[in-house]
Amino acid sequence: MAKKRPQTKAKRPQPQDGARAAVADGQVPVVGAREPCPCGSGRRYKACHGRAAAHAVTELVQRPFEGLPGEGDWIALRELVPAATVALHLKESLPEGVPSVTLATVLPMAWPALRREDGSVLIGLQNDTASGDISRDLADTLQRALTAEPGTPVQARRAPGDGPRLQDLLDPEGAFEPVVHEGFEFWVPDAQNASTEVTASLERANAAAIPTVKLAGVEAAYWCETPDKNHLRWVMPHPEEQLLDALARLHAAGASSLGEGTRLVGSFRAHGLTVPVWDLPTGVTAEDVEKPASEFAERLSAALATDAPLTADERRARGGLTNRQVTLS
């Protein structure tokens, strides 16, 4: 039989000087997943301190835009609106050479962000994110875009689990005023000199864009036109159970429509809020539903203030609305 080799204890990898100081302070630096953990445990980072960091960035945040001005509009631009932009206002002054930061529903080539030649920054909202916290991912993209070279896009990556969120970077008092566009021409300040790839992407995006209008009289309500019928989709900030009760009361009373030929057909959940949806006849425009929507908002406010138990008809109406509810996120 072969003799057993004497076992020797492998020397435990030690943190580098910079990492050693951080570990001494109770902070473990982020390194590559397969690299030795800076804490000196001898295990790979992903199996040691990286495990908690990965969990922190993958845990789903139900309301990622909560606390931001215009939460309902953030959700609408993320899920409903094809082409729109919003000027963003940061807590801190913009870095030198960055004249503005603009949120956009979509950017060419599905870029997460773009630093234009003039130094301005565009952030794309309708992108897949690497973690369960859209707010943290967007904040990481924003920070990298502020220091990117002019004329370059910012690529996607997994945001650090302890990185800032949008709520940490944006001015809570700053206005959030979406501008809805018919197409994506805002991508290209000088369309004639755009690259072939960007031009082709622009043409595809414009061809797929559904005509959409933001109502002026109520918050976070968007009319859209489709070949068969038009719709109104309205992101509402109220607690879901309370809102469904109120909608059921109005529906049972025949007061849930927005005028002749219109119908409340259901709702969906998106990023922690409920979005009721109305079918509208093809000829009904956004302007046509401005007044009915404002009147509905008054009826809804009264129904939300009612805490009496639902009647049998109202329970049936609520069941119908709940059965037609879809969760988007």
Contact 15, 23 (CB under 8 A): yes
What pLDDT does 325 receive? Answer: 85
Strand runs labelled E in 169-317: 179-180, 212-214, 221-225, 230-234, 263-270, 273-280
What pLDDT does 235 receive? Answer: 98
Question: Sign of dihedral through CA atoms 71, 75, 76, 78?
Answer: positive
Task: Report the candidate in 189, 228, 190, 187 with the shortest Cα–Cα distance to residue 210.
Answer: 228
User: Tell me: the pLDDT tens digits for 37-91?
Assistant: 888 788 876 677 766 555 544 578 999 999 999 999 999 999 999 999 999 999 9
Helices (H), the chain: 17-24, 49-58, 71-79, 134-146, 166-169, 196-208, 240-252, 286-304, 312-323
Q: Rounded to an integer, what distance in angstroms lies between the CA atom of residue 237 and that of residue 221?
A: 12
End-to-end CA distance of the chain: 63
Taking residue 46's Cβ as centre, other Cβ atoms within 10 Å add up to: 16
For residues 16-42, one letter each, b for 16 or more C-beta atoms within 10 angstroms of the residue's C-beta and e for the rest, the string is: eeebeebbeeeebbebeeeebbbbbbe
Per-residue CA distances from 236 to 194, 226, 270 (Å): 39, 22, 10
What pLDDT does 151 receive? Answer: 94
Per-residue CA distances from 49 to 29, 42, 45 (Å): 9, 11, 6
Taking residue 135's Cβ as centre, other Cβ atoms within 10 Å add up to: 26
User: Tell me: the pLDDT tens digits for 260-308?
Assistant: 999 999 999 999 999 999 999 999 999 999 999 999 999 999 999 999 9
**Residue 97 region, left (φ>0) first, then alpha (ψ -120 to 50), else beta?**
left
Q: Rounded to an integer, what distance in angstroms lies between the CA atom of residue 283 and that of residue 241?
A: 33
Tell whether pTM > 0.85: no
What pLDDT does 273 receive? Answer: 97
- Among 50-54, 134-138, 244-248, 257-261, which stretch is predicted with the lowest mean pLDDT? 50-54
What pLDDT does 137 receive? Answer: 96
Contact 232, 280 (CB under 8 A): yes
Contact 131, 137 (CB under 8 A): yes
Which of 15-24, 278-287, 320-329: highest mean pLDDT? 278-287
What pLDDT does 13 receive? Answer: 42
Contact 31, 23 (CB under 8 A): no
Q: Rounded to an integer, what distance in angstroms lies between the CA atom of residue 10 and that of residue 215?
A: 68
What pLDDT does 140 receive? Answer: 96
Say what the alpha-carbon torsion angle 180, 184, 187, 188 is, to the nearest 10 degrees.
-120
Binned at pLDDT 50, 70 and 90, residue 18 comes out as: very low
Q: Rounded to an integer, what distance in angstroms lies between the CA atom of residue 164 and that of residue 142?
A: 10
Contact 277, 302 (CB under 8 A): no
